[in-house]
Structure 1
C-alpha cells in the first residue's frame, strides 16, 4: 500500500516572534556570540572585534541607554 500513497507537501516553517535584539546587535557589531555555562544556566557573551568580551545584554544596554 505504501507505493500507492501520494507524498504530502510540507508547509514552510515560519519564524515565531521576534529575534533577541541583544543577539542581533552583537552580530551587527561584528561580534561573535559565545554561550557560557553558569550556575544559573547559560549566559551568552559577545566577543567584539576589538577583543572585548561582555554579556550581550550589557552591550545592548551600554550602547542603547534608556531615554528619560
Structure 2
C-alpha cells in the first residue's frame, strides 16, 4: 500500500511537470519578436467603432459616470458618440418599428374590417380588455364579437 502511494505521487508530480512544460512551450509559440504575447480575439469588433475607423475617424474610449462609451473623433476634429454616428449614417441597419409579435390580434382585425375601431378599456380593477367601438358609439367585447360573427 505504501508503495502504491509513492508510485501515484511520483506519477502526479511527473504529469504536473509535463503539463507545465507544454504550457511554457505554448506561450513561446504565441510570442511575437518583441517578446509580447498575442491576445486571443474573442467575439467580433464593435460595428460602430469599426465604422468610425473606416471613415477616417479615431475610436476613443471615454470613461463617464455611468461607465465607458466610445467616441469617434472625426477628421475635422468633431467628436461624436460612436453609436450615434453609426446610426446617423446607416439608417437601414437600425431596426424598424416592427411589431413585437408578428401576427395581429384576429379579433382586432375583424373589428376594424367591419367598420369598428379597436380600443383597450380598463375595468374598475385595472384589467384591460379589447373592445370594438362602432361609429354610433356602441362598444362590444372584441373576442365576443369575433366569435359571434365568425
Task: Give the TM-score band, short-chain normalised.
Answer: 0.7 to 0.9
Question: Structure 1 length normalisation: TM-score?
Answer: 0.73
Cα pair distance change 1:62/1:14, threshold 3 Å? same
Cα drift, residue 44 of structure 1: 1.3
| RMSD over equivalenced CA pairs, Å | 2.7
Q: Which residue matches 1:48?
A: 74
Among 46, 52, 69, the alignment partner of 1:20 is 46
Higher helix share: 2
Specify every segment of 5 or more residues in structure 2 that has no aligned partner in the other structure, as ranges: 1-17, 31-38, 97-150
The structure whose Rg is larger is 2
Equivalent pairs, count: 65
With a CA cutoff of 8 Å and minimum separation of 6, indicate the structure with the bigger relative contact order. 1
Cα drift, residue 50 of structure 1: 1.6
After superposing on structure 2, the runs of 4+ consecutive aligned residues of structure 1 that deviate more than 4 Å are 11-14
Question: Structure 2 length normalisation: TM-score?
Answer: 0.37
Specify every segment of 5 or more residues in structure 1 that has no aligned partner in the other structure, as ranges: none
